A and B are shown apart, each in its own frame.
Chain A
Amino acid sequence: ELKVEQNPLFLSMQEGKNYTIYCNYSTTSDRLYWYRQDPGKSLESLFVLLSNGAVKQEGRLMASLDTKARLSTLHITAAVHDLSATYFCAVGRIGNQFYFGTGTSLTVIP
């Protein structure tokens, strides 16, 4: 069974600081997705990573994928309060099924 683990589960950081969320998965995949979920809301797609070494950036967020290490990272640069949310990674498998990680709840403190 494919397992997707994120860490940390909870992250409290000050505005202006940098931090990284890690996503490890247990089986081969070359497709990794990052989503954001605000409290009580739906999931919003952030990044799609489709190959080893892929790097995508949007604003203060940068995602990367290392398929050999089965690891993706979501790096936050100079955090701002608006980034407070829960972030999920998802591994794509055959048939476009997604297996989601546990989520990382991020709180950015002014």
Chain B
Amino acid sequence: DSGVTQTPKHLITATGQRVTLRCSPRSGDLSVYWYQQSLDQGLQFLIQYYNGEERAKGNILERFSAQQFPDLHSELNLSSLELGDSALYFCASSSDAPGETQYFGPGTRLLVL
């Protein structure tokens, strides 16, 4: 158990809908990262938050957005969903100390029908 929690575990929705994925980092970790894992794209970095502020953006679509709240939990919002958004979405956290690894949550499996 990495200490990172994600909800829900599974999500089934329809095209055009909007969903919110939630992540709670390990105790004490200030950085939260979101990744998308799909068969054709592999593991893609989406976005990073550090102590409530956006720090870096990766391959995140404009239809996707995220935020980190004062209690450090984070939410990833996916809107106008398309079939191709079906994937496993991971949240990871780290202390952000130099060289510190990232600890991954169990993931949310999203299926868009």
> Taking beta carbons and an 8 Å cutoff, which residues of A are in contact with B?
31, 33, 35, 41-45, 48, 50, 88, 92, 95-100, 102-103
**A25 CA / B111 CA spacing, docked (Å):** 32
The 7 closest A-B pairs by CB, nearest first: A100-B43, A43-B104, A45-B101, A50-B99, A42-B104, A42-B106, A95-B56
Number of interface residues of B (CB under 8 A): 26
Q: How far is the CB of A97 from chain B (nearest CB, A)?
A: 5
> Taking beta carbons and an 8 Å cutoff, which residues of B are in contact with A?
2, 31, 33, 35, 42-45, 48, 55-56, 58, 90, 92, 94, 96, 98-107
**A100 CA / B105 CA spacing, docked (Å):** 16
Given contacts A42-B107, A96-B31, A98-B33, contact A33 B101 (CB under 8 A): yes
A-B contacts counted at CB < 8 A amount to 53
Picked from A44, A45, A88, A92, the residue with its CB within 8 Å of the CB of B43 is: A88
Q: Which residues of the other chain, A, contact B101 by a CB distance below 8 angstroms? A: 33, 45, 48
Q: Which residues of the other chain, A, contact B44 by a CB distance below 8 angstroms? A: 100
CB pair B99–A31 under 8 Å, yes or no, is yes
**A85 CA / B45 CA spacing, docked (Å):** 21
- Select the residue from B55, B56, B96, B99 with max chain A CB neighbours within 10 A: B99
Q: Which residues of the other chain, A, contact B106 by a CB distance below 8 angstroms? A: 41-42
Given contacts A31-B99, A42-B106, contact A97 B48 (CB under 8 A): yes
Q: Which residues of the other chain, B, contact A100 by a CB distance below 8 angstroms? A: 35, 42-45
Picked from A42, A48, A102, the residue with its CB within 8 Å of the CB of B105 is: A42
Q: Across the interface, name the chain A residue whose C-beta is closest to B2.
A: A42
